[in-house]
Homo-oligomer: A and B are copies of this chain.
Amino acid sequence: MDPASWLLLCRSVRFGDTDAAGVMHFHQLLRWCHEAYEESLERFGIAAAEVFPAAATGSGTPVPAVALPIVHCQADFRSPLVCGDPLAIQLDPRRLDPGSFEVSYRFHCGEREAARGLTRHLAIEAASRRRCPLPEAINRWLEASAVGRGIQPL
């Protein structure tokens, strides 16, 4: 499978993403980052239910057992985006240590770089909130993404 298929995504700027200055409102970019991370896992073949909690099951054990909360995020805004702008989003996920990883995101509108984002995630046991190793599915995605690092199209 070509890493481009799960590390290069598309979306359009929507009207509700803009503010009265006429351009994308800054914090929407962080929402786009997380949605791109979710879509990347989905395209790679990892079901949302393996990584993200859903409705309480009442079973006594949180599902999934490991949560991946964001401990840091940041974004840089290079040029304004208006409603309808088509975006190419390039993801670059990297393992930081056995229990954490980060994803950087580059947003292009045509040739123009519009923004960069970054999210850093920590693995914790959902029940105890103690640090733990990354789930196996995330490790597979990180490793396959690292293989593709030499051939980034942007």
Seen from chain A, the residues whose Cβ lies within 8 Å of a Cβ on chain B are 12, 14-16, 18-23, 25-27, 30-31, 34-35, 38-39, 42, 47-49, 52-56, 58-62, 67, 69-77, 80, 82-84, 119, 126-127, 129
Contacts and interface: CB of A to CB of B under 8 A. Distances in A.
Contact of A26 (B26, B34, B58): B34
Given A31-B16, A84-B47, A73 B72 contact: no
Contacts of A80: 55, 69, 129
A68 B83 CA distance: 15
A107 to B, nearest CB: 14
A105 B77 CA distance: 19
B25 A27 contact: no
A73 B26 contact: yes
Given A22-B20, A80-B129, A34 B14 contact: yes
Given A27-B34, A73-B74, A54 B20 contact: yes
A15 B27 contact: no
A84 B15 contact: no
